[in-house]
Amino acid sequence: MKAWTSGLLVLALLGCGDQAPREAPLQMLVADPGSFDGQRVATQGVVRHFEAPLHYWIEDAALNRVELFPREAAAPLLGREVRVVGTFRYAPGVGRSLSLETIRPLAAE
């Protein structure tokens, strides 16, 4: 293989790495959810839950909300402000959700 060909291969492989998530405050995700559907996003809010049916979400002071999956990842951080990264999904009639890659508290207890 020629040197320039192997150099192109290296560049192509480097370009396959994870890109930084798109920063998206909850307000933006709620105002225009269709433009974020299927995208990897980062946002933050306070973890809240409801018992029946059991579900967890994050919300901001204006009560903009996005449901979190898996629930088990969110449960230990109930009531805490967190930063999350994951894939955002939106479906009319179903709502807004985020499949978590990471969830971390923003402030110490």
In a domain, 70, yes or no: yes
What is the rounded average pLDDT of the residues 56-83? Answer: 97
User: Torsion-angle region of residue 61: left (phi > 0), alpha (psi -120 to 50) or beta?
Assistant: alpha
Omega cis (within 30) before 53: yes
Residue 107 pLDDT = 77
The residue among 82, 16, 23 whose CA lies nearest residue 49 is 82
In a domain, 34, yes or no: yes
C-alpha–C-alpha distance, residues 104 and 87, integer Å: 16
Residue 12 pLDDT = 40
Reported as a single tens digit per residue, the pLDDT across 27-66 is 999 999 999 999 999 999 999 999 989 999 999 999 999 9
Per-residue exposure over 32-41, b if at least 16 CB sit within 10 Å of its own CB, e if not: ebeebeeebb
In a domain, 12, yes or no: no
In a domain, 37, yes or no: yes
Question: Over 90: is that where the pLDDT of 92 sits?
Answer: yes
In a domain, 86, yes or no: yes
In a domain, 77, yes or no: yes
**What φ, ψ does residue 5 adopt, rounded to 5°?**
-70, -45
Residue recorded with tokens 């990842």: 73
Q: Of 4-8, 67-71, 90-94, which gets the smallest average pLDDT? A: 4-8
Domain limits for position 41: 21-105
In a domain, 14, yes or no: no
In a domain, 89, yes or no: yes
Q: What is the CATH number of the domain that holds 68?
A: 2.40.50.140
Reported as a single tens digit per residue, the pLDDT across 1-23 is 444 333 333 334 444 556 899 99
To the question of pTM greater than 0.85 for the whole model, the response is no
Domain count, the chain: 1
User: Who contacts 89 (Cβ-Cβ below 8 Å, separation ≥6)?
Assistant: 37, 38, 96, 97, 98, 99
Residue 94 pLDDT = 92
